[in-house]
Chain A
Amino acid sequence: MFIQWINTGLRKIPTWVLYIILPIPGLLAIVAGLTDNLGPEPVNELEEQLGEFALKFLILGLAVSPLLHFTRINLVRFRRAIGLMAFAYVLAHFLVWFLLDLQALNQIWIEIAKRPYVTAGFAGFIVMIPLALTSNDWSVRRLRRFWRVLHRLTYLAAILAGLHFIMLSKGFDVEALAHMAVILAFLALRVSKWRHGLQSGLQGLRTKLIG
């Protein structure tokens, strides 16, 4: 009853609202940086904030289907907006690192190759590019079943992002590990579902062949 009430409410929210709301914390951070309100080391602070929001939105995107499965709360309509905004934050995070932090444009490939945490983060960014490019109805129609398979790469992107966070931390970072634990939990749920799907598919095939 309560869930139904929530879902009815959610259906009234147009998806474009997310394209307004989700960029706000990032824009606030950028404005704070430009007005000298991000503390003594604004470059790192901005980089960190954008990166953390990117990771949180990625995780939120992964949470949509378990949320539907376990609570029946339906956020599926918003998943594209969440994913695209996660990508926008990753892109902004990358640009701040590249332009304001690294400052050596000829160094970028050396950094990516030489520093494993950068490699992981950059790989996550690359993986997200085809996902962002195919986040439109036309691609969903064109790619059909392949679209679903392709978008499973979201899990890979999240794992790379989580790994990036763990690898850049100094010491035993509880926060980074907690993010990774959530990502792996969602992946485990998903894998058990894929397995189930695969098994029932094989079962169907067997019945067809034998019976």
Chain B
Amino acid sequence: MAHRWTNALTRADITPEPLWLNRRQFIAGALGAGAMASIASPALAETLEPNTWEHITSYNNFYEFGTDKEDPAANAHRLNTADWEIEVDGLVDAPGRYSVASLLEGLSEEERIYRFRCVEAWAMVVPWNGVELKDILDKVGVQSGAKYVAFETANRPDEMPGLRYPVLDWPYREGLRLDEALHPLTLMATGIYGKPIPNQNGAPIRLVVPWKYGFKSIKSIVRITLTDQEPVTSWKMANAREYGFYSNVNPTVSHPRWSQATERRIGGGLFNRRQPTLMFNGYEAEVADLYEDMDLKTYF
């Protein structure tokens, strides 16, 4: 149970709270010392420090609260996450409506410092807290016919002002192949920096799949369905040519409108250099075998 995957990043990489509260001064100091020079090198990526709480919680894509990056932080306080329930259905032994607490009960919560790569070619490093999705799925009992897991975000127009606009076909939907869902890297996050996850980051519980583009990591989940069919996913429905079901981070497959070869790490200021994007976002050793026989240009 849990601890199947160990962070190459350690606790020592977590910035102490007084420091991330004062990150601007800290960065200024580091710049002065020339310490930023190492950041461009992907080989040293493991030593990258997590982004600040401020950056992680103020630069978000959560279109239910608006399409600008600052909209979720401004509007997400309207989401009521108390008494949150998740409907678990489909090919499971114990379907039903579960409270978050009952789903997490008895599971070991972990801290995972993951790279986070958005399909828009920006990137962060986030210290998540959560449980492996596998543990939740084991709890509800996946039936043998299940091949995929489908997820759905809350659809509450009164609390989510962005739902008034037909930006996507609401509710937001995402999905994983079962082996991806069961992979030890796949996390259901409930916290960041050891604090409860803020609404704009997907409270009370969200998926985190670090080797896929960020939009796969669906937020504020209200439904988990085990199915034998590839689930429909919101961005693929919106534009199948640009957003595939798999959406693995892959520097060799460009988005039709922009290159995915490089990314800009959030927090580096106006003259921040782009850095090369890593295959599977740097988790190639862990996940490449999931896609061994697949042409990743076809199944992008």
Contact = CB atoms under 8 A, between A and B. Distances in A.
Given A41-B69, A43-B272, A171 B266 contact: no
Contacts of B264: 41, 43
Given A46-B270, A172-B167, A173-B167, A39 B67 contact: no
Nearest to B266: A40
Chain A at the B interface: SS class: helix
A56 B59 CA distance: 25
A172 B257 contact: no
A149 B58 CA distance: 48
B166 A172 contact: yes
A111 B262 CA distance: 14
A171 B274 contact: no
A202 interface: no
Given A115-B258, A117-B257, A167-B257, A41 B59 contact: yes
Interface string A78-121: 00000000000000000000001001000000010001110000
B167 A41 contact: no
Interface string A18-44: 000000000000000110101111111
Nearest to B28: A36
A168 B121 CA distance: 13
Interface residues of A, number: 25
B257 A42 contact: no
Given A100-B270, A115-B258, A171-B63, A39 B58 contact: yes
Interface residues of B, number: 29
A117 B24 CA distance: 35
Contacts of B272: 43
B24 A116 contact: no
Most buried by A among B63, B238, B270: B270
Contacts of B267: 40
Contacts of A167: 257
Interface in B59-87: 59, 63, 67, 69-70
B269 interface: yes
Contacts of A111: 259
A40 B165 contact: no
A185 interface: no
Contacts of A36: 24, 269-270
B266 A174 contact: no
B182 interface: no
A165 to B, nearest CB: 13
What 6 A-B pairs have minimum CB-CB distances, sorted nearest first?
A: A40-B59, A171-B167, A40-B55, A33-B270, A40-B266, A42-B270
26 contacts: A33-B270, A34-B270, A36-B24, A36-B269, A39-B69, A40-B51, A40-B54, A40-B266, A41-B69, A41-B266, A42-B270, A44-B122, A100-B271, A111-B259, A115-B257, A115-B258, A116-B257, A167-B257, A171-B63, A171-B167, A171-B168, A171-B238, A172-B166, A172-B167, A174-B165, A174-B167
Interface of B: 24, 51, 54-55, 58-59, 63, 67, 69-70, 120, 122, 165-168, 238, 257-259, 264, 266-267, 269-274
Interface of A: 33-34, 36, 38-44, 46, 100, 103, 111, 115-117, 167-168, 170-175
